[in-house]
Each structure stands twice: as structure tokens, then as C-alpha cells.
Amino acid sequence: MRKPIIGVTPLYDTERESIWMLPGYLEVLKDCGGLPVILPLGIDGADGEQLVKMCDGILFTGGQDVDPGLYGQEVWEFCGERHGGRDQQERELFREAFRADMPIFGICRGMQFINVMMGGTLYQDLPSQRGVGLSHRMKPPYDVRWHDVELVSESPLGKLLGEELIGVNSCHHQAIRKLAPGLKAMACATDRIVEALYCPDRRFLQAVQWHPEFSWRRDERQRRIMEAFVEACRQEEKE
């Protein structure tokens, strides 16, 4: 049986000037039946169209901060490292995948980037812009629960897991400030920060703020989330 090909956006090491990948992203996709492929940087519109046509789904991974210029803001004092080449690559990939109604899934930065591409904004730094509250940045190990999120029962995630509250890991200092038009929350932390989203007008466009690629072996819920994405990619491959 042909496995669905899932394009994975690469991480970038500025110090070494190299792309790299956390193995968990690839391992969970492979274990759920997908065939992950790390996508290149430095692409233009034509490259993005060709790459998307090669794939059955796109995973937008975690990593550096999204450039605030993409959502019309100046860089805040505590905004972190950014990489213009990655922003450019993901912008082209998202546009093409969205246009094709291809399955799209985002993790951490990936969720934030999707929100920005759809017209939303971000907190550039939660502690300094929102004040003291729930801690969203844990220390290793990253495969254990850090805080709880409340699921929206009628959302795809709520229906998939059938629970009201689940524990998740957390490793981010940016977050959604204004949810983009066309997107809806699937889960929120107890401080009301959006922790998962979806687009009801798309066949499969979902994202989570936490990291299933770290916790899927210990938490069956996280594996089920990734299985749902791979299955959507499998349906894309069949059509």
C-alpha cells in the first residue's frame, strides 16, 4: 500500500547555518503510517507549487519566532530569534497547500504561523506582554504533562478524544493573541490562551500549541491526534 507523503518544514540552526530535524516529528508520522519528507528552504512560488503537488499533506513544525512584520507589528524587545528564509518557505507552502485544500497540521510555531497566515496576531512574548500567569515554558523532559487544556467538545479535537480536560507538555513563549477570521479554537489553557485550532471551512486544517512529537509514546491521545492527520493525508492520496 502506498504511504501518504507528508512534507515537513525543517528547523534551522543559525549558528551552524544548517537545516535540521528533531526525530520525533518524523518518527511519529512514520509510526502512524506516513512517509515524511523534509522540505528545503529557499523556495519561490513555483517551487512551492511543485513541492505541494508532490505531497499528500504538510506539517508545519516548531522553531524560531514568526517575524512580527508578517502580522503588521514592530519587533518587541523580548521577541526571539527569527529566520526570514523559513518564513518565506512556509508562506509559499501554506499558500499552495491552502489553495489545494490539502491536509495541514501545525505544531507550536506551526500553529502560530497558520494563525498569522490567516490574518491573526501573536503575543511576541507572553511573560512581558500578558503578565504573570500560567507558565507555558517547561524544562526537560518534554514528554510529560506540564499544564491542562480544556477541549471544545464540538470541535474535531473534542470529538476525537471525547474528553473535557487533558494534560499537555508546553515549550513556547509566543502565543495567539487575536485568533484569525475563519479559525476556531479547539482547546484553551486555563489562562484562556488558545492551545489548539482548526478551520471549519477546510477538509483538514488543524494545529496544536503543545508538542505531540515528544509525548506520543507515553500519551495515547497525542498519537491519536497525529494518526488523524496522517489518515487525512491518506484520504488526500486516494483522491
Instruction: Show which residues are catalytic.
Output: 108, 211, 213
Residue for grid cell 488523524: 228
d(CA 7, CA 59): 6
Annotate 92-120 with three-state secondary structure: HHHHHHHHCCCCEEEECHHHHHHHHHCCC
What number of helices (H) and strands (E) belong to the chain? 8, 13
For residue 214, give the H/E element and its range.
helix 212-215
- SS3 call for 65: strand
- Sequence-distant (6+) residues with CB within 8 A of 31 are 216, 223
Residue 196 in grid coordinates: 489548539
d(CA 141, CA 139): 6
β-partners of residue 109 are none
Phi and psi at 124, nearest 5°, equal -75, -25
195 contacts 210 by C-beta, under 8 angstroms: yes
